[in-house]
Structure 1
């Protein structure tokens, strides 16, 4: 068998864990200013205006400024969704993580794929711009039309920015601050100069600013309004990078969300200023420097630079600075596009949604290694491919990326609403910021996506490329590229999430589908699987009927995730049920279960050879389990635990939640100290909560905080168990967490004195007749005369055996529960064995007859001896005692 290679010491380490802030990224590296700089720079303000302002003006004319403002609205709404979700879970996977927690692993995977698609597509556009403006800045205008040379230059720029992102987040942030400062300064200088000349020099095509420019009712048509907003959405995209670097930001739950909103507002101010000033200076004419000139639609700033700054004095230098500004804008955006893309893939790998090699970190720089380099190479590959097949790289890539943007932004808005659905009515602020605003943003993005994909971009005449599709016909290349990339993600998603789906199906199939109601306890349960493929583990629970109307309660947790953990959980649950039917004490049951877990680990080690199981895959070791037995006759409860499992008890008189001090036992499979059983009395109506760590550590790493929240929930113990379960899950697991969560709630009951009859007999043969007589009398009181003959036979056989083979007093107990239970206890420690009696045997037939009569029978051992018990089914229509 081929053994997997162990990572060498020099290999980059994997992420420490999938949780927010636990992946090993360099925390605290960024402050608010750096986060805002990254968020604003990611949108490439100068380039975005240069590439889209002409398209907006061509569609809506003088209403371009109001279109810029209207496009800001859905972005602000989605920014609020990012802010609220980040405050709850500051994970660098952003949409991937949040959508996974809200809607499941498949939807979450598609959210992450939407980010990857948008970033890879826009990288081609940014690389093309960087190459063209680089040659233009150096004076090699002839090379800007050469496809080969612009492609080579674009590849070089992607490589350089990938290297900077690889070196470290602090260097990236410092570079962004300087590039952004230069970019904004030149843009503001351009806007102010243009406005001053409009009102002082009165250029030929200039028009004065008018209030009508900000009136959406003056837009020619609804179609023009929608198309304009769709184009303007692109210029705002990218601010979410400020949230993607949250795990590397100081105060990661607050600063990234603030930075996102500040970035969007700053972009609004900058865009409205530049758009208004450029339109006032150049007008919207279709000739010359007019913004409506289609020849300049892909780059309106280059032509405006010479006209605004003039040809005298510093004019030529400032015009060159404007070109340099567009170049640096594209370069800065290339870098900040690599950052979120790499961290999204890094988070997906940490959650096992993509191969784990993408979760590797650089030992020194603490930056993602595989994800950064591989996505840089993927961007280069896509750029070269797009250059080869498309006649206009800029137009097709800009417009197709809008579909991916609308997809994952809209998904984030809907995820916010669903994620916080249980707390939306808690306060007006929660309803507004967690529900209404993100929901409206999601609806707007959904409308823009559908309108663009199936109406505007699907037109064969739209864009520079069209493709003849089977069964559909000729379709616009923008729709084919945008939807095709997302559909490719669906195929990949089905492949990479198949293990999660199988593990979850296996997990659920082995958990109790429905808890059968027992006389001893009232029960309710909840199982919340973890958020991603990494999370479906082996948390489990069970309720096991035991002899004497008792009930066994168990919760457990398996180390590890995926199919192996689920399979291990299935073996343990089966083992517990088998051992519980032997009526073992909790400590003895855990000891036997420990042997089972250790044996499983040894078998697995033998399969993997001398090296043992692969790291992170041995789910048979370090298992935790808590087993409790409750007796409704005596009200006695006994518990033992393996590992750090806890239980909560709420007594009906005080309503105070306590956590019984159970002796700590080692996790299963590790050996060590023996397990100990703790016994205590539970009054009728006591509430017992058994749970796994995932329940009390989902909202906070501090166990005491989680236990306190659970106690606050259980204080209203009089409520129904189903309602208490819902409240506990909503409070402790507001959204699916990184670990499975199990909660089992039981409310104890006690059998009344009229349901139990107990007699003590001396070990004399004459007592057999007395036992039969008392039994017949009790069955008559209960109205169970139909069972008189069989019960008399059972009691006679069991008491006779006790007198013959044991010494000391004999106890006979009848229990009328869901069945009729007959128990005979003595001081002996030998158990009778069922066998076929031979023709010449004088004994052995009685127990065989009892076994044929009984529904179930067995033996349980006590500190003073043993008890033989026999269960019989009650008649279909017995006389019902009023107390029942």
Structure 2
């Protein structure tokens, strides 16, 4: 906690921030500078609550980038992350300049402090040194921050108290007594001036969110960063209120000398106050040097804690495929982002040299432009918190206030500040030190050009970096069933929830496959990995399952054939050999896929199930008890991994039983798989509403916020065929029995009102029963099923499947199956535990369908 608070305070850089912006605030609002610095605390505190609640739901070092992506999608998320990068990189240039100048002043080299070349060289050295400190580890960085911050806070408080004492004991000519009007915001001359002052005030608070950027490296990452952030903003408020009041009382707001309104001191109001407050001899000289050292260490501490969130934001963006993946590499010893830290240090150096080479005016205006990036980033985060938790705001008053109202107000205030400052205050050519002639717009303030221009670069880069996510998501959804088929065996509903982070678009899928004999195949699967590769693999496997399912394979045999397909594909791709139970090096994306396949028979009420891998599950809710249970399924290895053979288990299901097939992503929000399954069981036990409504309740209850990984839920309610829809006969293996079964079939078709199908059905039954008697013998079963088609099934004890062939003109046989194929819509063979079943389907007219 102490290190997190220290990082939040140090990143804000109280001494540096006051030195760089207090003069700007005074120039805008005059004597009301203290209240303006305090008013800027309000939106910061509101946004801090947004950060706290989002971090509690998902501690990710990408912060705004990650949370905005999950709340609004990859485009808004990218811009939120880009806002962080822009603010951090630009402020690094200013921090380096301040550190270089104060380093020379501390050494008494005032001439070098005003030399552009030497301050640039020294600034580059400081950035390199601080980058190295951040690179060797977070614990070392935190230790450095604690020492630097303690020195900074102590000297800052001593300075503020000494200044106030001087005002009332030995005041300088510029001194003015503290007045209540200083704390009245209505005394500010205009809304424009107030907005400019508050936005500058936002800059001095900025940085407390560093504690969130290192949340994944923090003990109790869900709570400590949030508490540290709120504590940091409150401590900053107290320090800024004290220092701004005492400095204004001591130096006044005059435009000459040490006055805060002096434009020559606007970018550094503290350097000339040390000797004025403490004196220039003995202890006073030492304290004045400590004040310079304090501003130097503040700039250094702020620069160091700017590198930390910058590197970790880029690291998170790389993990989520928003920037090149090399930025996600971690040093094996130091455990810090290699490219994220060193790369961002190099980019900061390049920008610092670029801005310094133009002029100090541009460098000065870049400070104000940082305020736009900050307001944009914080505004996005406030709205993201509100939208992220929108489904649970009504859960309690606390959720409504801290997850909805406060973050929403913080986001709104930041958005208004951003728009008003960018297009009214900073756009004025008279504001700041630079102006630019823009085509079609005219002369525009340099602060707006720098701030909006930097954000516009992110807009231009956005299509390139978000295209992959959009294509993957479109491919994924395009490969899933557009709608589930209506079937006599089950009523079904489904939900697919794609992950909201950029890497999460994966390969979860579900399917409902009509099979012969009115049976139905149910499948859910989970492909490892993310992006286009996982989506393409999912499409390939879904097609493979549908093809194998049409062969009427048992669930365990289907998974065995599917894993053979996976291994063959991997072998053809050059994945290389593997040993039992070992994953192939450089393996195909399908290796390690989890899949659950079930076949339900609405005639018998039996359901055969087999499973490959663990991240898929099945829950059953019997209608009698209404209590969800997870049946024990035989374990099976993921596809392509090898190991034990797959086994099927058979469940006896009552009519109106509820089955829920799901991938593990549905349980991700719970504390462990068991807790997630218990929550799912409670949702399934609620029997209100249709299956579609129950799916919605399940997803809302299990995934109240955006998902880390994609999730799939397939919910089905079983049915039994009415006894009037099917009939079965046992046939003796004698030639005379053929005429008997033909007569029975004709009578049944007459009872069903399907007499027009009697001739073709008699021919089909005669051919199939005759072949069974001639080539197999033994018990024979004949079954008719009247569903959306007329199904005829002939079962025997043989294990040899007949094959369709085209008989020559002089052949005496071999035309039976050919005739059957011409007279039916579908036909096929499926194997059973006791032999095989040959089945045919004939189309029915709409009026004949029950």
TM-score normalised to the size of structure 1?
0.92
Task: Give me the whole-angstrom Cα distance separating, in 1, the residues matched to 2:132 and 2:732.
Answer: 90
Q: Counterpart in 2 of 1:676? A: 647
| 2:394 partner SS | coil
Do the aligned partners of 1:560 and 1:617 also contact (CA within 8 Å) in 2? Answer: no
| 1:605 partner SS | coil
Do the aligned partners of 1:42 and 1:239 also contact (CA within 8 Å) in 2? Answer: yes
CA displacement, residues 310-346 of structure 1 (integer Å, 9 cap, x when unaligned) = 3455222222222211111111101010011111112
Q: Counterpart in 2 of 1:396? A: 365
Answering whether residue 622 of structure 2 is matched by residue 651 of structure 1, we say yes
Do the aligned partners of 2:330 and 2:338 also contact (CA within 8 Å) in 1? Answer: yes
Range 494-503 or range 316-325, more displaced: 494-503
| 1:738 partner SS | coil
Do the aligned partners of 1:560 and 1:616 also contact (CA within 8 Å) in 2? Answer: no
Of 823, 842, 845, which aligns to 2:815?
A: 845
Answering whether residue 632 of structure 2 is matched by residue 661 of structure 1, we say yes
Do the aligned partners of 1:564 and 1:617 also contact (CA within 8 Å) in 2? Answer: no
Q: Counterpart in 2 of 1:820? A: 790
Following superposition, the deviation at residue 718 of structure 1 comes to: 4.4
Task: Give me the whole-angstrom Cα distance separating, in 1, the residues matched to 2:706 and 2:522.
Answer: 25
Task: Give me the whole-angstrom Cα distance separating, in 2, the residues matched to 1:786 and 1:143.
Answer: 106
Task: Give me the whole-angstrom Cα distance separating, in 2, the residues matched to 1:322 and 1:541.
Answer: 66
| 2:638 partner SS | coil
Following superposition, the deviation at residue 833 of structure 1 comes to: 2.2
Task: Give me the whole-angstrom Cα distance separating, in 2, the residues matched to 1:95 and 1:409.
Answer: 8
Task: Give me the whole-angstrom Cα distance separating, in 2, the residues matched to 1:613 and 1:643.
Answer: 14
Q: Counterpart in 1 of 2:532? A: 563
Following superposition, the deviation at residue 587 of structure 1 comes to: 0.9
Q: Counterpart in 2 of 1:71? A: 40
Change beyond 3 A, Cα 1:615–1:191: farther
Q: Counterpart in 2 of 1:38? A: 7
Do the aligned partners of 1:390 and 1:464 also contact (CA within 8 Å) in 2? Answer: no
Number of equivalent positions: 847
| 1:424 partner SS | helix
Structure 1 residue runs of 5 or longer lacking an equivalent are 1-31
Do the aligned partners of 1:529 and 1:740 also contact (CA within 8 Å) in 2? Answer: yes
Answering whether residue 771 of structure 2 is matched by residue 801 of structure 1, we say yes
Q: Counterpart in 2 of 1:727? A: 697
Following superposition, the deviation at residue 196 of structure 1 comes to: 2.1
Do the aligned partners of 2:569 and 2:588 also contact (CA within 8 Å) in 1? Answer: no
Task: Give me the whole-angstrom Cα distance separating, in 1, the residues matched to 2:408 and 2:520.
Answer: 47
Range 627-636 or range 296-305, more displaced: 296-305
Answering whether residue 263 of structure 2 is matched by residue 300 of structure 1, we say no
Q: Counterpart in 2 of 1:356? A: 325
Of 7, 14, 17, which aligns to 1:48?
A: 17
Q: Counterpart in 1 of 2:498? A: 529
Q: Counterpart in 1 of 2:343? A: 374
Of 747, 753, 758, which aligns to 1:788?
A: 758
Of 408, 414, 434, which aligns to 1:439?
A: 408
CA displacement, residues 151-199 of structure 1 (integer Å, 9 cap, x when unaligned) = 0111111111111111221221111111111111122112212222223
| 2:40 partner SS | helix
Do the aligned partners of 2:688 and 2:694 also contact (CA within 8 Å) in 1? Answer: no
Do the aligned partners of 2:575 and 2:586 also contact (CA within 8 Å) in 1? Answer: no
Following superposition, the deviation at residue 278 of structure 1 comes to: 1.7
Q: Counterpart in 2 of 1:625? A: 595
Range 666-675 or range 128-137, more displaced: 666-675
CA RMSD of aligned residues (A): 2.2
Q: Counterpart in 2 of 1:164? A: 133
Structure 2 residue runs of 5 or longer lacking an equivalent are none
Q: Counterpart in 2 of 1:137? A: 106
Task: Give me the whole-angstrom Cα distance separating, in 1, the residues matched to 2:754 and 2:358.
Answer: 87
Following superposition, the deviation at residue 533 of structure 1 comes to: 3.8
Answering whether residue 207 of structure 2 is matched by residue 238 of structure 1, we say yes
Following superposition, the deviation at residue 762 of structure 1 comes to: 1.6
Task: Give me the whole-angstrom Cα distance separating, in 2, the residues matched to 1:268 and 1:822.
Answer: 82
Do the aligned partners of 1:90 and 1:246 also contact (CA within 8 Å) in 2? Answer: yes
Range 782-791 or range 584-593, more displaced: 782-791
Following superposition, the deviation at residue 393 of structure 1 comes to: 4.3
Do the aligned partners of 2:391 and 2:705 also contact (CA within 8 Å) in 1? Answer: no
| 1:657 partner SS | coil
Change beyond 3 A, Cα 1:147–1:498: same
| 2:573 partner SS | helix
CA displacement, residues 766-824 of structure 1 (integer Å, 9 cap, x when unaligned) = 33333333223323333333433433333333333333333123222121222222212
CA displacement, residues 19-74 of structure 1 (integer Å, 9 cap, x when unaligned) = xxxxxxxxxxxxx1111011011011111111111111222222212211211111
Q: Counterpart in 2 of 1:462? A: 431
Q: Counterpart in 1 of 2:301? A: 332
Task: Give me the whole-angstrom Cα distance separating, in 1, the residues matched to 2:311 and 2:670.
Answer: 27
CA displacement, residues 425-454 of structure 1 (integer Å, 9 cap, x when unaligned) = 110101111111111111111112222222
Following superposition, the deviation at residue 736 of structure 1 comes to: 3.5
Following superposition, the deviation at residue 608 of structure 1 comes to: 12
| 1:301 partner SS | coil
Following superposition, the deviation at residue 296 of structure 1 comes to: 2.0
Do the aligned partners of 2:356 and 2:363 also contact (CA within 8 Å) in 1? Answer: no
Do the aligned partners of 1:857 and 1:868 also contact (CA within 8 Å) in 2? Answer: yes
How do residues 422-571 of structure 1 correspond to structure 2 at under 5 angstroms? 422-571=391-540
Answering whether residue 680 of structure 2 is matched by residue 710 of structure 1, we say yes
Answering whether residue 709 of structure 2 is matched by residue 739 of structure 1, we say yes
How do residues 4-153 of structure 1 correspond to structure 2 at under 5 angstroms? 32-153=1-122
Do the aligned partners of 1:541 and 1:555 also contact (CA within 8 Å) in 2? Answer: yes
Do the aligned partners of 1:168 and 1:365 also contact (CA within 8 Å) in 2? Answer: yes
Of 148, 168, 175, which aligns to 2:144?
A: 175
Following superposition, the deviation at residue 707 of structure 1 comes to: 1.8
Q: Counterpart in 2 of 1:754? A: 724
Following superposition, the deviation at residue 202 of structure 1 comes to: 4.6
Of 286, 290, 306, which aligns to 1:317?
A: 286
Task: Give me the whole-angstrom Cα distance separating, in 1, the residues matched to 2:324 and 2:196.
Answer: 39
Do the aligned partners of 2:209 and 2:229 also contact (CA within 8 Å) in 1? Answer: yes
Change beyond 3 A, Cα 1:374–1:617: farther
Task: Give me the whole-angstrom Cα distance separating, in 1, the residues matched to 2:586 and 2:711.
Answer: 20
How do residues 845-864 of structure 1 correspond to structure 2 at under 5 angstroms? 845-864=815-834
Range 628-637 or range 293-302, more displaced: 293-302
TM-score normalised to the size of structure 2?
0.96
Answering whether residue 374 of structure 2 is matched by residue 405 of structure 1, we say yes
Task: Give me the whole-angstrom Cα distance separating, in 1, the residues matched to 2:584 and 2:199.
Answer: 50
Following superposition, the deviation at residue 613 of structure 1 comes to: 11
CA displacement, residues 189-225 of structure 1 (integer Å, 9 cap, x when unaligned) = 1221222222333543333222222222222222222
Following superposition, the deviation at residue 408 of structure 1 comes to: 1.3
Do the aligned partners of 2:70 and 2:388 also contact (CA within 8 Å) in 1? Answer: yes
Q: Counterpart in 1 of 2:167? A: 198
Task: Give me the whole-angstrom Cα distance separating, in 1, the residues matched to 2:360 and 2:2.
Answer: 40
Of 865, 870, 876, which aligns to 2:835?
A: 865
Do the aligned partners of 1:698 and 1:739 also contact (CA within 8 Å) in 2? Answer: no
Change beyond 3 A, Cα 1:591–1:614: closer
Q: Counterpart in 1 of 2:663? A: 692
Do the aligned partners of 2:583 and 2:591 also contact (CA within 8 Å) in 1? Answer: no
Task: Give me the whole-angstrom Cα distance separating, in 2, the residues matched to 1:599 and 1:698.
Answer: 36
| 1:230 partner SS | helix
| 1:877 partner SS | helix
Following superposition, the deviation at residue 617 of structure 1 comes to: 5.7
Task: Give me the whole-angstrom Cα distance separating, in 2, the residues matched to 1:594 and 1:256.
Answer: 45
Following superposition, the deviation at residue 607 of structure 1 comes to: 9.1
Following superposition, the deviation at residue 567 of structure 1 comes to: 1.9
| 1:601 partner SS | helix
CA displacement, residues 525-559 of structure 1 (integer Å, 9 cap, x when unaligned) = 12222333432222211111001111001111222
Change beyond 3 A, Cα 1:802–1:608: closer
Task: Give me the whole-angstrom Cα distance separating, in 2, the residues matched to 1:495 and 1:92.
Answer: 23
Task: Give me the whole-angstrom Cα distance separating, in 2, the residues matched to 1:745 and 1:470.
Answer: 59
